[in-house]
Structure 1
C-alpha cells in the first residue's frame, strides 16, 4: 500500500469524527450545551465499557470470570451500543481471531482483490463498515459461541436486542426531560446522548477493525497485521492496543506498559478489588519478553513491563 493510499484510508475514518467535533463547536449553546454533553459522555462510557469489558474481554475471550449479575449488566450495556446482538458479536470476533487477516476473517482490510489504491480503499471500507452489510464471512453462532448459546440469560439478552436499543435511546430522552423540563430539551438529549453517541462509538469500534490492522506499531511476533494505535486508545477504552491483544488474546489487560492507557483494564481491576471479578488473566513479563520482535529490546522491555503497575504478573 502506497503512502497516499494509507493517508486516504486514514482520512476516511477521521473526517466523520472531525465533523462531529466541529458540530459541537458550531452548535454550542444552540443545539448542545453542558447538559447534552454530559449525558452523551456518561452513556458513551457505560455502553463502551459494555462492549470492551463485557462483549470482548469477558464473553469473547474469557479473560476473567464474573458473577451472573455482572455478566448480565455488561451484556445489556454492550447491547445498548447497537453493534448487534451479543452472541452474534462474540461469534464474529472469535472467528476474526481464528482467521486473522486471512480468508475467513469477517473484517480484515487486507483481503480485497482490487489492485493498488482501489484495493486499499475497498479493504478499509470492508473492515470498517462494509462487512456489516453482508452475510459473507459472518460466523456460525453454534460453532463459534456454543458456550453463550447454552447460557439462558445471554440467550434472552441476545433475543431482546431491539429492546436494549430502544432503552439506549429512551434513557437520554428521559434524562433530557428530567434535567431540562421540556420536550425540546429531551429531543436534544436524544440527539446527542442517543444518535451521536452511537455514531461516535461505532466509528471508534470500527476503527479497531480497520486502522488497527493497517497502521501503527508492532512489538511482538504475530501471524497477522495487527497494530497498536496509541492516540485511539483513550477513546476505545484501551482496545487500540490491538497488537498487544492479538499477541496475548486472553489477557484482561490490553495496555501492557504502565503508560499504555487502558480504561477497560482499569475497570476490570476495580471489579477484581470489589470481589466482582476473579481469575483475571495477566501476562508475565518473561512471556512478553519471549515474544518480542527485536531480540535486542528484550532487556529494556523486561524492565518496562515489570513497572506496569502490577498487571504483568503470572
Structure 2
C-alpha cells in the first residue's frame, strides 16, 4: 500500500466498513479506542498520546485557579487574547504552514527555534504534521484522520484514535516519515528506537522540552504579572488545546456540504472559509485546501491573516528566507486576473520534502 495510506496506525474499527465506505464507529467504540490508546501500562508505545492529553490534565488546575481565585476582567481579556489569537495564530504559523506544508523557510535555526517557542509547547509536532499530510491527500474520504462525516467525536478524539503514526512501518517508510519532519528541527528516533517506542519523537527529549518550555513561560508570566497572570495564561493555553480539537469538524461543514458560491472556491472537498478562525488565527480553510503550500491563506482584502502578517514581517527583517504566496494565483484562477509579477507555484510534498514521488501515491480505500 502507498506510503500515505499506511503511515497512520489504523483504529480497531478500521477506516472503511464492509462496503468500502467510511466506517462510522459508535461513541462507545470511539471511547474504547481512545482509552485503549492512552493506556501506557498496556503498551508503552502509547506514551505520546498519553503525554499529549496529560498536558491538558495538568493545565486544568491553572484554569480553575484563575476562574475561582484570581479572576478579574483584565485577566479575562488577556487570557482570551492569548488563547484565541496568540495560541491560534501560532498554531497556524508553526504547526500548519511550516511543520506540515513547508510554506516558508527560516534563514537559520535560531529563528526557527524562536518561532517554535513563541507559546507554551502543547501539541507534539509529530501528531499534527504527519497526519495532516494524510488529511490533505484523503480529505473527506475514508482514511482522513479527522473526517467530519464520522461525527464530532470522530474528529475530537482523532489525535489519539487516528493521528499517531503506524507502529509497524518498514525502515524505508519510516525514513520517508522522518523526511516529513526533518525541516522542523525536531530530533527523531533511529529506526531501532522507533521499533521500541512507536514514535518519531523520543520520550525523554519530548518531556524535557515541554518541561523547559513550561518552566520558562511560567517564570516569565509570574515575573511580569504575578501568580494570577501565570494561572490565567496557562489556563487559557489548556482551553485552546481542547478547543482546537473541534476545528476540523467545524471547518469541514460538520460532515455536510456548507460551501458557498463566491466564498468557498475549492470544490475538491467540504472545507469552508469561516470568519472566526480566519480572524483569530488566519485559518481560511477552504482557501488553504485550494493552495495548501501557501504561506498566506487570506486572499481577499477582508480576510485577515495574522499568521501571514508574522511570516511577512519575519521576511522583512531577514528571519524568513523564502515563502510561497498564492494570492496572485488565486485571483488568476478564479477571477482571471493576472497581476504584475510572478505568481507563486504550488509545490507538492515531493518538492518540499524530497520524498520519492511513488511513495506519496494515494489509493482511495
Normalising TM by the smaller chain, what interval?
Answer: 0.5 to 0.7
Residue 131 in 1 paired to residue 158 in 2? yes
User: In the alignment, what sits opposite 2:315?
Assistant: 272
2:146 paired residue among 93, 107, 117: 107
Relative contact order higher in (CA < 8 Å, ≥ 6 apart): 2
Q: Is the 8 A contact 1:63 1:252 kept in 2?
A: yes
Deviations 1:184-206 (A, max 9, x none): x51x3343210233213541x33
Equivalent in the alignment of 1:119: none
Q: Secondary structure at the match of 2:297?
A: coil
1:150-229 matches, within 5 Å, as 150=182, 153-155=185-187, 158-159=201-202, 160-167=205-212, 169-171=214-216, 173-175=218-220, 177-179=222-224, 185-186=226-227, 188-203=228-243, 205-214=244-253, 215=258, 217=260, 218-229=263-274
Cα distance in 1 for partners of 2:341, 2:239 equals 32
- CA RMSD between the two structures: 3.6
Structure 2 gaps of 5+ residues are: 1-62, 167-172, 189-199, 345-365
Deviation at 1:107, TM superposition (A): 0.5
Cα offset for 1:58?
1.4
Q: Label 1:106 to 1:273 Cα distance change in 2 as closer, same or farther (>3 A).
A: same
- Which position in structure 1 is the counterpart of 2:19? none
TM-score by length of 1: 0.67
Q: Compute the TM-score of the two structures, normalised by the length of structure 2.
A: 0.59
Partner of residue 97 from structure 1, selected from 120, 133, 136 = 136
Assess if the C-alpha contact under 8 Å between 1:65 and 1:277 holds in 2: yes
Aligned counterpart for 1:238 among listed residues 279, 282, 288: 282
Cα displacement (A) at 1:124: 1.9
Which runs of 5 or more structure 1 residues have no equivalent in the other structure?
1-22, 113-122, 293-297
1:179 shift after superposition: 4.3
Structure 1 position 73 matched with structure 2 position 114: yes
Structure 1 residue 88 displacement after superposition: 2.6
Q: Which residue of 2 aligns with 1:295?
A: none
1:57 matches 2:97: yes
Shift of 1:94: 1.1
Q: 1:158–1:288: structure 2 CA closer, same or farther, 3 Å change rule?
A: farther
Secondary structure at the residue paired with 1:104? coil
Name the structure 2 match of 1:5. none
Cα shift at 1:35: 5.0
